[in-house]
Structure 1
Amino acid sequence: MNDGTENHGSPADTGNSTVATGGQRILGEKKRPRPRGTPWLWTAAAAWLAANLWIGLAPGSRLPFDWPARAELSKLEILAEINLAMAQIVLLMGVVYLLTRRRPDPLLSRRAPEHRRALAETLGLLGYGVLGMMGGYFLATALGWHPFGLHLAGTLFGTRDLPAPGEVLTWAGYNLLVYAVLPLLWFRRRYSSMALGLRSTAPRNDLLVIGVVLALEFCFQVVFVQPASLGLPPHLLVPGAALTFVLYLAGAVFPAMIYVYAILIPRFLRLTGSATATVLLGGVTYAGLHFWDAWAVFSSLERSTLSVVFLLFTYLGPGMFKSFLTLRTGNAWVHVWAYHAFAPHTLIDTPHIVEVFRLK
């Protein structure tokens, strides 16, 4: 299946962006062929709609999750909020498409190895990620803490069981080591920084995308979410925001950037030949890294199913958008500054970190 993301024409048909990685050459094109990922798109949309209907029509008006930040919302209000967030993701994708339509296609699939090796590396990295999640579970629970996933307990939704400062620091260090440092050391031995999306091919356009997306996301959060951090006094907001930024950069942002967007996204594109499939797979992988979110409940089949569905409801869209940003720019750093480190994490989670570390 090929959706037009690859063009194997001669160098004469390409633009002036050419990068060598080992024996492979990456060619940037001036025009992007129109993607054809309709089956993937309709399948995902149908599954999304079916999940909405199943939850919306199920008995009861409340969900079995401990979400202090959403405690007053009914099930239908939460579904409306989730679908509004997905609509925002689609809108942002449209904005990014317009901002990047004139830049050369980075052709990320050519940054990955040939099909057989790409498959082996992808399966190996996914298996490694599962082991990392299991290691985070056993390490944290052995110490009496919440299992380590990509998000700290209480992130976005709040919690009545605050993590201890030692738990927060260990969570950040574990995730940084397992999902960022070790994979980067392994793959950097074989692939260049360009092949891993760690260098920009169009810095001005990248800055434009970052600025516009960050401004739009900030406005969306302020208008619709109204984060509590905006009500903090300056003597708490400034140190709290700085500490939140550093901790989440280490524990969530860099791990997602390296593991998913620098390494896996080019290989997903090489294996599927579809930009749409790559965006969806990136979203699912990103959601999977949040499997141990502290609010998820796995005490029964029904609650486990609900937890998996709401993990996808919560993280599929952001993961897809980060994947889309990487596909359009070829730069894994873009999503870090445009749509992760500052907004939502620093903007939303600063009050949580202020409370955990008892800043005064």
Structure 2
Amino acid sequence: WLSLMYLIITQLILGAGFNMGLHFPGTDVYSTGSQSQVDVWVWAITYTIIYTILPLIWLRRRGFSLKKLFGSFKWIRDLWIIIVYWAIDFFGPILVGSADFFGGISASQYAQGVPLGILVNSLGAGLPVVVMMHMIFIPRIAVLIESRLIVVLFGGLFYSIFSLFDQGVDYSTLSTGLTSFTYIIMTQTLVGMGKATFTVVTGNPFIHFITLHIISARVPFDTRMYIEIFKLK
């Protein structure tokens, strides 16, 4: 539960104090010219330090080994999961029209914007979720609770707290704040449960990173934004 308290406290500080959410640009709704390159790097570096580096140091002091963790993965066994769910999460937003990925972007911009977006989002969102939720919280909850379904549910709730200051929420008044909080809990708990399921079933905390996060849906969602912010030609 220490990780949960750490997450709540840091999210309140970063979100309420500095408008930083799990996904850039925090609670703001992005529009051309509204964010700068400095804003992106400040967010990415801050989240990397608070949710990746410091927690890994904490794990390391308790005997955690990345080498042993990676040695336990069964990539070949899980390959079909990665391919199928990556395709669904990548092409889904494009097909339903919720992601502005095609049109008005050159091949050169795609070639620069896609890897840049993956890098930045990995630092600011992907790795923090991998470490905090999938490497620290879920394994410890799984030891305490036998039911996989309950573990997945707790994982979903943990992710929803991680998302309290995501794009579009508004805590400026009590009524809008309650609406925003309720919306995040109701929607992001389900999203988080999907992510948690991959880790609970496969034991690999990086499966969700590929299939339901940074390398999938965030690419069509964020590529155009990063192309504009970094003025890629």
CA distance in 2, matches of 1:220, 1:355: 23
Match of 2:45 among 134, 150, 173: 173
- The normalised TM-score by structure 2 is 0.89
Partner of 1:303: 176
1:1-360 → structure 2 map (5 Å cutoff) = 123-137=1-15, 140=18, 147-153=19-25, 158-159=30-31, 162-193=34-65, 198-225=70-97, 227-231=99-103, 232-360=105-233
CA distance in 1, matches of 2:223, 2:43: 17
Partner of 1:98: none
CA distance in 2, matches of 1:211, 1:128: 34
Q: Larger radius of gyration, structure 1 or 2?
A: 1
Q: Is the 8 A contact 1:156 1:348 kept in 2?
A: no
Q: CA deviation at 1:139?
A: 6.2
CA distance in 1, matches of 2:31, 2:152: 31
Q: CA deviation at 1:314?
A: 3.5
| AA of the residue aligned to 2:57 | L
Q: Is the 8 A contact 1:196 1:262 kept in 2?
A: no
> Which runs of 5 or more structure 2 residues have no equivalent in the other structure?
none
| AA of the residue aligned to 2:72 | S
CA deviation map 1:25-65 (0-9, x unaligned): xxxxxxxxxxxxxxxxxxxxxxxxxxxxxxxxxxxxxxxxx
Q: Is the 8 A contact 2:152 2:196 kept in 1?
A: yes
CA deviation map 1:171-196 (0-9, x unaligned): 00010111111111111232444799
| AA of the residue aligned to 1:261 | H
Q: Is the 8 A contact 1:151 1:293 kept in 2?
A: yes
User: How many residue pairs end up in the alignment?
Assistant: 232
> Which runs of 5 or more structure 1 residues have no equivalent in the other structure?
1-122, 141-146
Q: Is the 8 A contact 1:176 1:251 kept in 2?
A: yes
Q: CA deviation at 1:214?
A: 0.8
Q: CA deviation at 1:258?
A: 0.3
Q: Cα RMSD over matched residues?
A: 2.5
Partner of 1:96: none
Q: Is the 8 A contact 2:198 2:208 kept in 1?
A: yes
Cα 1:226–1:133 change in 2 (3 A) is closer
| AA of the residue aligned to 2:22 | L
Q: CA deviation at 1:244?
A: 0.6
CA deviation map 1:242-277 (0-9, x unaligned): 111100010000000000011100112222322111
CA distance in 2, matches of 1:217, 1:294: 19
Q: CA deviation at 1:280?
A: 1.2
CA deviation map 1:224-251 (0-9, x unaligned): 1352222222122221111111000100
Q: CA deviation at 1:341?
A: 1.5
Report SS of the residue matched to 2:134.
helix
Q: CA deviation at 1:359?
A: 2.2
CA deviation map 1:72-127 (0-9, x unaligned): xxxxxxxxxxxxxxxxxxxxxxxxxxxxxxxxxxxxxxxxxxxxxxxxxxx22112
Report SS of the residue matched to 1:204.
coil
CA distance in 2, matches of 1:156, 1:137: 11
| AA of the residue aligned to 2:156 | G
CA distance in 1, matches of 2:115, 2:138: 30
Cα 1:201–1:352 change in 2 (3 A) is closer
Q: Is the 8 A contact 1:265 1:278 kept in 2?
A: yes
Report SS of the residue matched to 1:321.
helix
Cα 1:220–1:138 change in 2 (3 A) is closer
